[in-house]
Structure 1
Amino acid sequence: MFVPFLIMLREGIEAALIVGIIASYLKQTGRGQWMPAVWVGVFLAAALALLVGGGLELVSAEFPQKQQELFEGVVGLVAVAILSSMVFWMRKVARSIKHSLHASLDHALEGSRHQVTALIAMVFFAVAREGLETVFFLLAVFQQSEGPAAPVGALLGLILAIGVGFVIYTGSMRLNLGAFLRWTGLFILVVAAGILANSVQALHEAGVWNHLQSVLFDFSTTLPMDGPVGSVLAGMFGYQDAPTTSTLGAYLIYLVVALVMFFLPTPAPARPSTSVSIQ
């Protein structure tokens, strides 16, 4: 439950910040009449995410067992790629996202003859990015989880993200965006490593990857994956009680490379700002 909760919270807050920055800038520049177009863009982006997620889930349910394993492996690999790019992209642009959105708004409203369409498209693509990232991650998590815990966690994360976005917009709260993205990004990379390991295992069960399958150690008697602690570790970090060379190797190689890249210093901004206020 915690992993989908955290991802929905992070992605939801990012989307809420985008919408809040846009709404606040329109209000400050006397263009509040454009807000209905903003909500149309948000609605279309949410509808696209639901359509893609629901469509993929329905299609995969009709697959035979081996094809389901292949689908799970491919979705997991896509989710790892998207999660990784999301973490490093947001780490790079977090300091300048407000300025970038303001510039995009000005361009949409002043540089286009079809202002409504341009504004809807701008909001749609900004929010759809967050929505599609979330869809592929949740698909990977839902396929590797059983029971209602994962969907409930995702729903709670979304509800909390909407609430946080609202209080940020009203000025009741200032969010240290740098710290929030840094710590959640670090956790997401660990989760992505687990998803990658499970994807390698799914590809093996689908008959696609059959190399390096020797079991390195077996904790199934002392810390089984279906036990209370094992299930939590499996759900959060991709724990396997009998990992193979390929699954553990994929986990460790990805994690080492990702963490080295994550902790590399980034160029300091001209005017550092660690908190976000969209007023």
Structure 2
Amino acid sequence: MLANYLIGLREGLEAALVVGILVAYIVKVGRRDVLRNMWFGVGIAIVGPLGIGAILTWGPYGMSFEAQETLGGTLSIVAVGLVTWMVFWMGKTARTLKNTLHSRVDSALLGAGWGIILLAALSVGREGIETSLFVWATVASVGGSWVPAAGAVLGILTAVVIEIFIYRGFVKINLGKFFTWTGVFLIVVAAGVLAYGVGDLQEAGMIPGVGRHAYDISTIIPSSSWYGTVLQGIVNFNPSPTWLQVGVWVGYIAVVGTLYVRQHRSTSPRQVTAPASAPAPARQTAAS
């Protein structure tokens, strides 16, 4: 549940910051008449990922075991790819995100301003699709329990509350450190989801090596125990992984972790500010 809470919190805060920037700039340029269009776009961005989550949850029931494992493994790998891209994208574009959105709003506001619907839907929907796929993958890896999904929902609600406080100037958050450390955590979680996806493809016969376990500590840390469940929910812990799963996990952590550390060492401190039109705007320091 903690892993999905942090996923929901991070992704939700990214989406909420985008919405806050859009609202603030639209108000600043005196186009309150298009706020309804913007919220309509945000609504589309919310409904889309929910639909994707529903399809992924109930759609595979009529499929064979091999087909379900193939679909689950493939989508888990896709989810890891999206989240990995998101982690690096946020580290690269945090400094210019506000100006980029302002420029896109200027273009979308031409004429009647209907383009703001598409802008809001795409800007927020990307975060929602990433969240739905990654949460689905983590939920599937722990046996389909509803608890991890509830954690993601709580994380998103927390992000909304935080963004409201930021917009109103009530709180200050070092967004740079927040995204940096949650990025580290997401890399660890993503490694577990990737290993789980590889295991699914092995079960489906798409990849050889099923049954060739690197080790088995299920007697020491049973999956059914409370601590086994906690580890599984946080980092997708597997007490008896195959050699390929271990290799994939270690390789992902080594490669992605190294690139992540290099990115944050090579970038200068960034500064992200709260929306300009917010009362008493709170300045956020995004030191990478």
TM bucket normalised to smaller: over 0.9
Q: 2:133 aligns with which of 117, 131, 136?
A: 136
Counting only pairs closer than 5 Å after superposition, residues 24-103 of structure 1 correspond to structure 2 as: 24-103=24-103
Counting only pairs closer than 5 Å after superposition, residues 161-200 of structure 1 correspond to structure 2 as: 161-200=159-198
Q: Do the aligned partners of 1:212 and 1:245 also contact (CA within 8 Å) in 2?
A: no
Q: Do the aligned partners of 1:213 and 1:246 also contact (CA within 8 Å) in 2?
A: no
Q: CA deviation at 1:92?
A: 0.4
Q: CA deviation at 1:218?
A: 1.5
- Unaligned runs of 5+ residues in structure 2 are 277-288
Q: CA deviation at 1:264?
A: 0.4
> What's the TM-score, normalizing by structure 2?
0.90
Residue equivalent to 1:152? 150
- Structure 2 counterpart of 1:180, which letter? F
Q: Do the aligned partners of 2:95 and 2:270 also contact (CA within 8 Å) in 1?
A: yes
- Structure 1 counterpart of 2:243, which letter? T
Count the aligned residue pairs: 274
Separation in 1 of the partners of 2:237 and 2:53?
A: 25
Any idea what the Cα deviations from partners look like across 1:101-152, whole Å, max 9, x if unmatched? 1111112113xx4x43211111111011001101111110121124331122
Separation in 2 of the partners of 1:227 and 1:81?
A: 31
> What's the TM-score, normalizing by structure 1?
0.93
Separation in 1 of the partners of 2:119 and 2:31?
A: 16
Any idea what the Cα deviations from partners look like across 1:21-79, whole Å, max 9, x if unmatched? 01111112222222111101100111111112212222112222222211211111111
Q: CA deviation at 1:95?
A: 1.1
SS at match of 2:115: helix
- Structure 2 counterpart of 1:140, which letter? A
SS at match of 1:85: helix
1:122 maps to 2:119: yes
Q: CA deviation at 1:225?
A: 2.1
Q: CA deviation at 1:156?
A: 1.0
Separation in 2 of the partners of 1:74 and 1:27?
A: 43
